[in-house]
Structure 1
């Protein structure tokens, strides 16, 4: 109701001022050429026609209806009143002052037009409350969605940080292990190639031929997957191992190649057999000693 008065009150005020001003101008303008009762009737007729069309327009608007002829007639009365004021202003000495108020009839029509537009777009308090509720619900859902996304982003960041740190630790352990294995292998290789190795083997080895240069081979390791397959294979007896080693040496001899223990061990494990380093080396020594 207060908002309705905020748009209707200015229109009513300008309409009243415009009607009074139009009546006064008609009486002053035509009073010298005809009796004042006639001029009063002319002024009231102009204002009355305008007021009647305005009232009819308001009644149609309250019913949700509209009539173009009534609207046209109302604007004709407004233009006529404005024309009277402009014509009177041009004949007076203070033309500017009268022209300054000659827009009031058209201004009143425009204000009523604005008020009618407000009425057509006005909503009830129930509808406004429903709209506010919908807007608040949408804001709440957006806030919850933003919070959920931020939480998910934080969780994902924490997970990625943990995975990265774990991977970094694994990489460091692998690097240290590789470094240690490399050092151990270098130590074994240095011992194998050392000048005192032959003398040490001559003292502790029973089957060293006098005058021959003793040597020993480095252990042979396979990949983790190959070791897993070998460990799952059934255990071989010493006789089986000797037979397999004999077969490998004979096969390579047919190709015109003499193989060392390392090559025999590699071919033995590539064939899918499993045996400890000690048993395999002992079988190789037995086979090679018998052959010699």
Structure 2
């Protein structure tokens, strides 16, 4: 018998023995007043013997892995009879009635301990099985701990990455804001210069020697959306002659109303895919304007 089994069977043995002794003593003391004591002794031994016999039979069935309800019922009957004898003696005793009532529950307690021992036997496992179960539980705890550590590490890594991305985004946004502010101030300065009263006169006085007799319309770039300029379906095979160049410049210049400035005309001339040197293009412009 294992150590764990002894922890349940020894208390059951001890309480059963005490219950049998008390039952026998009470029957001899109680019934000895009304009949000869040998007869009372036989009655007491009969109760204890029946109880012991049924207990032994129950233990043999339990060892075989079997169970009998009638035998169990008979065993509990003997235990209840013993308890009833002790209770009756305590109620009729003139002295120490409380002490006898205090021990009257021992037969029923003994039967309950044997029931607990039987339950332990049906659920007991070998040492190898217990070691295997402990190993499985420990392995599961280890895997759970590793999984928790992995999740915490991944969460910390993700948090660090998000922090770095957020900081980089904040720096980019700060640089963009500074750039937008600088561009806004620059375009504001250009707009002020374009809208100024002396801007045109100043620029004309500077360029009057380049284009004598011509008053160009000077415009500074405007900050805002742009629209694509459609090309002109003009044929230009090889280098343009002066006459063809004059026709092309005049057509581009008068493509909108009012007439385009030299800068706008030159831009659309080159956007349309035509080529001419700046000197020839300005000369053609001067000829068209003079005409």
Normalising by structure 1, we get a TM-score of 0.78
2: distance between equivalents of 1:38 and 1:76? 22
Deviation at 1:259, TM superposition (A): 5.0
The residue that corresponds to 1:50 in the other structure is 51
Aligned equivalents of 1:204, 1:6: Cα separation in 2:
118
d(CA) in 2 for partners of 1:37, 1:62: 37
| Cα distance per residue 1:178-234 (max 9 Å; x no partner) | 222223223333333344431343133322537x5x54222478989x9xxxxxxxx
Match of 2:4 in 1: 3
Match of 1:177 among 171, 176, 179: 179
Q: Which residue of 1 aligns with 2:211?
A: 207
C-alpha contact (below 8 Å) 1:56/1:70 kept by paired residues: yes
Separation (CA, whole Å) in 1 of partners of 2:4 and 2:137: 22
Structure 2 vs 1, CA of residues 191 and 70 (structure 1 numbering), >3 Å: closer, same or farther?
same
Q: Secondary structure of 2:169's partner?
A: helix
Q: Check the 8 A contact 1:50/1:78 in 2, yes or no.
A: yes
Q: Aligned to 2:164, what secondary structure does the other structure show? A: helix
Write the distance in 1 (CA, Å) between the matches of 2:246 and 2:31.
145
TM-score with structure 2 length normalisation?
A: 0.78
| 1:291 aligned residue | 288
Gaps of 5+ in 1: 227-236
What is the CA RMSD across the aligned residues, in angstroms?
3.7
Partner of 2:235: none
Q: C-alpha distance in 2, partners of 1:32/1:290?
A: 160
Residue number in structure 2 paired with 1:133 = 135
The answer to which structure has the higher helix fraction is: 1
- Match in the other structure for 2:89: 88
Q: Distance in 2 between matches of 1:65 and 1:178?
A: 92
Instruction: Give unpaired runs (5+ residues) of structure 2.
Output: 229-237
Where 2:149 maps in the other structure, the secondary structure is: helix
Q: 1:262 to 1:38 in 2, by over 3 A?
A: farther
CA 1:9–1:204: 2 relative to 1, 3 Å: same
How far residue 166 of structure 1 moved from its aligned partner, in angstroms, is 1.5
Within 2, Cα distance between the matches of 1:101 and 1:32? 22
CA distance in 2, matches of 1:290, 1:207: 11
Distance 1:35 1:17 in 2: 24
Distance in 2 of aligned mates of 1:93 and 1:17: 23
Alpha-carbon distance in 2 for matches of 1:52, 1:262: 131
When the two structures are aligned, how many residues end up with a matched partner? 271
